[in-house]
């Protein structure tokens, strides 16, 4: 797209009350707009990044055999009273409101209860199981503090998946398959190297447990301990003598790190389905409760964590898989020669299916480069009178300090 047509403008300053790096850069570069503390709008660039994250996540969830749905935001209280999660004293992130007839309603902060309740209409026999469903849903949470930009919003996009299984083996097989699937997701998102699967609660060898996917990140709100082998990490709450003894590892081999939780998976065993009344009849005609697992990835949070982890002092640095565009084509000057070259190159790249942001604006080179660094598309092509005279393109990666002059053929090869 031509940058002159993109309605968002970059800005020099973020709102004064915005302390987090991710929100500062994302706002300044025009990816998001701050509506109020913890509430952000996705502008075209941010909308594109979020869609790319969703696409990768969706492909991996489909590969697990999950079916996509979209649950409602508005929640009737009856469904949540059954499991004692309606009371705001017990769940302190509810937003609630009332219908005109006085009926109290809530706004979805999670969806185990309504999904399990809905499935009572569709699951009755062992042949109906297993069932895996997921959604990309805007969650609303009445967070006390909202100070980490899109890393902890009052409104955010989450992928939540739920597994319903006949027995513990089927349940745990899927749980473990999802761990592998999540690793692929975070590898594809460019966060694989910085992300650890941590045992988060319940102890390593206990029945009730959960796992978190924690990305090393100074702005993260979690504390984890990473083993020097680089493969094992433990959340602070399970980093104790008993766990260390169970694992046969020594305290001294762990290093403390700040981290951001970008995914979590946990098992409800059969408890939730028993409470809600989701049972099935097995092969022998016995009534049995269903096993439930719950698997989240914070989609907008991932955007924030990527912005934290990969940015530098000039701005954002997108991994290529989630960059809003494949290449930033920057034209310097308005001479006929550079205009003709850049326009033709733009058309040609688009015709090949390359996503191009074409800076066709009438600005000084310094302003264009500053915008380009701030927006953070991984590859930049510069076309100027100088490059046209040599019939070359100046190619620069966002992550490298130096540019190089390449022929068009060579430049296209790197995309």
Which residues contact its own copies by CB under 8 A? 5-9, 11, 30, 33, 35-36, 39-44, 47, 50, 65, 67-76, 79, 95-97, 99-100, 105, 107, 114, 118-119, 121-123, 128, 131, 133, 138, 140, 142-144, 154-155
In the complex, what is the shortest distance from the CB of residue 225 to its own copies, in angstroms, rounded to a whole number?
31
CA-CA distance, 178 to 66, in Å (whole number)?
Answer: 11
Strand-pair partners of 245: none
Residues in contact with 181: Cβ distance below 8 Å, sequence separation at least 6, in sequence order: 60, 61, 63, 64
Q: How many CB atoms lie within 10 A of CB 234?
A: 23
Map residue 91 onto helix, strand or coil: coil
Query: 71 or 406: whose CB is closer to its own copies?
Result: 71
In the complex, what is the shortest distance from the CB of residue 161 to its own copies, in angstroms, rounded to a whole number?
13
In the complex, what is the shortest distance from the CB of residue 375 to its own copies, in angstroms, rounded to a whole number?
15
In the complex, what is the shortest distance from the CB of residue 40 to its own copies, in angstroms, rounded to a whole number?
7
In the complex, what is the shortest distance from the CB of residue 33 to its own copies, in angstroms, rounded to a whole number?
5
**Which among 302, 300, 312 has a CA at the least distance from the CA of 374?**
312
CA-CA distance, 92 to 81, in Å (whole number)?
Answer: 14
Strand-pair partners of 397: 379
In the complex, what is the shortest distance from the CB of residue 335 to its own copies, in angstroms, rounded to a whole number?
21
CA-CA distance, 131 to 139, in Å (whole number)?
Answer: 23
Query: 42 or 383: whose CB is closer to its own copies?
Result: 42
Query: 59 or 404: whose CB is closer to its own copies?
Result: 59
Query: 128 or 236: whose CB is closer to its own copies?
Result: 128
Query: 95 or 209: whose CB is closer to its own copies?
Result: 95
Query: 248 or 353: whose CB is closer to its own copies?
Result: 353
CA-CA distance, 187 to 184, in Å (whole number)?
Answer: 5
CA-CA distance, 361 to 367, in Å (whole number)?
Answer: 10
In the complex, what is the shortest distance from the CB of residue 129 to its own copies, in angstroms, rounded to a whole number?
9
Map residue 153 onto helix, strand or coil: coil
Pairing of β 233-235 and β 195-201: parallel
Query: 114 or 293: whose CB is closer to its own copies?
Result: 114
């Amino acid at each position: 797209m031509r940058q002159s047509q993109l309605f968002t403008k970059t800005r020099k300053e973020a709102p004064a009350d915005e302390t987090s790096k991710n929100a500062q850069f994302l706002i300044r570069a025009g990816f998001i707009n701050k509506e109020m503390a913890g509430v952000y709008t996705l502008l075209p660039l941010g909308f594109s990044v979020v869609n790319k994250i969703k696409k990768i996540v969706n492909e991996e969830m489909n590969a697990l055999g999950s079916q996509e749905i979209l649950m409602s935001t508005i929640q009737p209280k009856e469904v949540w009273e059954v499991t004692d999660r309606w009371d705001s004293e017990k769940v302190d992130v509810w937003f609630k409101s009332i219908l005109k007839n006085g009926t109290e309603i809530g706004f979805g902060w999670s969806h185990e209860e309504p999904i399990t309740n809905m499935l009572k209409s569709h699951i009755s026999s062992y042949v109906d199981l297993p069932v895996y469903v997921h959604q990309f849903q805007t969650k609303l949470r009445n967070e006390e503090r909202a100070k980490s930009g899109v890393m902890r919003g009052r409104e955010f996009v989450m992928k939540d998946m739920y597994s319903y299984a006949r027995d513990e083996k089927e349940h745990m097989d899927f749980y473990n398959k999802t761990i592998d699937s999540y690793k692929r997701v975070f590898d594809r998102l460019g966060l694989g190297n910085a992300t650890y699967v941590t045992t988060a609660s319940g102890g390593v060898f206990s029945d009730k447990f959960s796992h978190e996917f924690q990305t090393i990140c100074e702005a993260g709100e979690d504390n984890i301990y990473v083993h020097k082998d680089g493969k094992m990490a433990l959340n602070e709450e399970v980093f104790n003598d008993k766990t260390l003894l169970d694992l046969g590892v020594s305290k001294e081999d762990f290093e403390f790190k700040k981290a951001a939780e970008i995914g979590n998976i946990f098992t409800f065993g059969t408890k939730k389905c028993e409470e809600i009344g989701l049972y099935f009849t097995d092969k022998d005609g016995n009534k049995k409760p269903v096993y439930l697992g719950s698997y989240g990835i914070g989609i907008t949070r991932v955007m924030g964590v990527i912005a934290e982890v990969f940015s530098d002092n000039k701005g954002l640095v997108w991994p290529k898989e989630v960059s809003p565009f494949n290449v930033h084509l920057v034209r310097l000057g308005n001479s006929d020669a550079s205009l003709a070259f850049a326009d033709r190159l733009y058309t040609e790249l688009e015709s090949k299916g390359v996503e191009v942001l074409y800076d066709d604006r009438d600005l000084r080179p310094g302003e264009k480069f500053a915008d380009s660094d701030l927006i953070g598309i991984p590859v930049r092509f510069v076309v100027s009178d100088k490059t046209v005279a040599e019939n070359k393109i100046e190619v620069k990666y966002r992550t490298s300090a130096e540019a190089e002059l390449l022929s068009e053929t060579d430049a296209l090869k790197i995309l």
